[in-house]
């Protein structure tokens, strides 16, 4: 059955600590685990609701084909700078860019007779000297390799808070997504913030990378976040909890297949090995296609649990406590608390049997009411693309106000 929540006594909650190291964070960067997970299987085609995509027909991988580029300090500084100014075209001729590139000049309306110019070059700020020709050339090479449709992210985080599609087909679209995302800034400035050893580990921090992954049309309802503690799969959770899908309920035909499919995938491809041999706690995201095949999407760090009333505290410092408090300040998932996860982990380790793995708990949204209560964290970070590009006109503002009045009667 789907779990609605597991209660833990308050006295146990106060004795729970979380410990995250920079080593955990580094292990979950795509560049660290990708080589370990390029495992093969027959018939490696992802079936989605619209069309068939070969992920990597030559090798039959269990994850999307990916490549990454190391970013220069100059480009990292550009991403961290204020404002949304896109780099100019490398050859100084924006008209030669791909049609989908936002830096390409927009043809003027034929009604406008005030100028003989064929194109409007847009904001003059875009014509500033900032330019990254080597990076753009490398991106173009990868776009050709991935058939001109990719999903772009940095080492850990995708710009899911940026407004618009994450499918990009030009360097300019990639720059716009990265520049307009708060989530990307997390990778650049805050990814090690809650690591107790962040000061001692500074010289081992990974340099920012631009990751491009072959684009696949994924049905978001079939993405799941899986929690692995002490290399035991303890929980499978509906990845996006803002929407209720009745067919995900465990007594429905599709919902009843989720736990067996993910559990088999976990065993068959030794996902317990994780992103690194030395990492026992982690999360991994999967996608289940129409053929009930499971695909690895990504890994993420998961802190170690520490019992503060036992010998675990012998090396517990003020820095450990500060980082633990920050981690405990937000839950691991909207449908799963730290205390519930800790209880599941204890049950899994105490009842461990290599011959009969324990069935993981399954959490999904139970009703539309629950989905509405969950809220939309990503939506809170989004801004209209017109605001990002400087094209937010009074007409657009008036249309938005009219739509709000129609929807809410304000």
317 and 227 in one domain? yes
Residues 138 and 247 in one domain: no
- Between CA 228 and CA 225 the distance in angstroms is 10
One digit per residue, pLDDT tens: the chain, 410 residues? 455 444 444 445 568 899 999 999 999 999 999 988 876 654 444 444 323 233 343 346 899 999 999 999 999 999 988 888 888 888 766 766 787 888 877 665 544 555 444 434 444 444 457 899 999 999 999 999 998 899 999 999 899 888 778 999 999 999 999 998 988 988 898 999 999 999 888 888 899 999 999 999 999 999 999 999 999 999 999 999 999 999 999 999 999 999 999 999 999 999 999 999 889 999 999 999 999 999 999 999 999 999 887 655 667 888 999 999 999 999 999 999 999 999 999 998 887 676 677 899 999 999 999 998 876 555 444 444 444 334 444 554 555 555 555 544 54
Total number of domains constituting the chain: 2
Give the Cα separation of 164 and 176 in Å (integer).
Answer: 10
Q: Indicate whether 172 and 80 sit together in one domain.
A: yes
What is the spatial distance between Cα 100 and Cα 103, in angstroms, rounded to a whole number? 9
Strands (DSSP E) found in 27-139: 45-47, 52-54, 66-70, 106-107, 119-120
- Most distant CA pair in the chain, distance: 80
Q: Is 167 exposed, middle or buried (0-12, 13-18, 19+ CB in 10 A)?
A: middle
Domain hosting 309: range is 10-29+220-374
Distance CA 36, CA 54 (A): 20
* 102 domain-assigned: yes
Query: pTM of the entire structure?
Result: 0.80
Residue pair 237/336 in contact (Cβ under 8 Å)? The answer is yes
CA 291/CA 256 separation, integer angstroms: 14
The answer to whether residues 246 and 349 belong to one domain is: yes
How many Å apart are CA 37 and CA 273, to the nearest integer?
Answer: 10
Shared domain for 284 and 337, answered yes or no, is: yes
Residue 402 located in a structural domain: no
Shared domain check, 75 and 116: yes
Question: Are residue 224 and residue 364 in the same domain, yes or no?
Answer: yes
Is 242 found in the same domain as 127?
Answer: no
Does residue 191 sit within a domain? Answer: yes
Q: Indicate if 23 and 99 belong to the same structural domain.
A: no
**236 domain residue, yes or no:** yes
């Amino acid at each position: 059955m789907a779990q609605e929540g597991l209660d833990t006594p308050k006295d146990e909650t106060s004795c729970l600590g979380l410990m995250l190291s920079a080593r955990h964070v580094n292990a979950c960067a795509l560049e660290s685990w990708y080589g370990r997970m390029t495992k093969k299987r027959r018939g490696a085609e992802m079936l989605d609701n619209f069309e068939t995509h070969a992920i990597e027909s030559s090798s039959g991988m269990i994850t999307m084909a990916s490549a990454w580029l190391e970013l220069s300090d100059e480009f990292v500084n550009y991403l961290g700078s204020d404002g949304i100014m896109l780099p100019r075209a490398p050859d100084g001729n924006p008209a030669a860019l791909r049609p989908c590139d936002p830096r390409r000049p927009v043809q003027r309306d034929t009604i406008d007779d005030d100028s003989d110019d064929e194109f409007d070059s847009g904001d003059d700020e875009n014509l500033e000297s900032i330019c990254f020709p080597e990076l753009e050339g490398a991106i173009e090479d990868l776009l050709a390799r991935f058939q001109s449709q990719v999903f772009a992210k940095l080492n850990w985080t995708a710009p899911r808070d940026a407004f618009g599609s994450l499918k990009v087909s030009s360097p300019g679209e990639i720059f716009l997504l990265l520049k307009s995302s708060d989530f990307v800034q997390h990778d650049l400035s805050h990814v090690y913030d809650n690591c107790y050893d962040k000061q001692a580990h500074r010289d081992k921090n990974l340099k920012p990378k631009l990751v491009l992954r072959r684009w696949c049309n994924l049905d978001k309802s079939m993405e799941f976040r899986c929690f692995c503690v002490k290399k035991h799969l303890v929980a499978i959770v509906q990845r996006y909890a803002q929407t209720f899908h009745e067919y995900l309920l465990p007594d429905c035909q599709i919902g009843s297949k989720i736990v067996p499919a993910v559990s088999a995938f976990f065993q068959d491809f030794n996902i317990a090995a994780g992103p690194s041999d030395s990492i026992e706690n982690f999360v991994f995201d999967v996608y289940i296609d129409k053929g009930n095949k499971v695909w690895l999407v990504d890994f993420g760090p998961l802190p170690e649990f520490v019992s503060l009333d036992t010998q675990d505290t012998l090396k517990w410092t003020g820095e450990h406590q500060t980082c633990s408090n920050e981690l405990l300040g937000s839950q691991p998932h909207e449908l799963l608390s730290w205390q519930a996860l800790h209880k599941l982990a204890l049950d899994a380790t105490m009842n461990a049997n290599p011959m009969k793995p324990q069935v993981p708990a399954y959490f999904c949204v139970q009703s539309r009411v629950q989905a509405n209560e969950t809220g939309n964290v990503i939506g809170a970070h989004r801004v209209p693309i017109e605001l990002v590009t400087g094209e937010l006109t009074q007409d657009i503002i008036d249309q938005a106000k009219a739509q709000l009045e129609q929807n809410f009667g304000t």
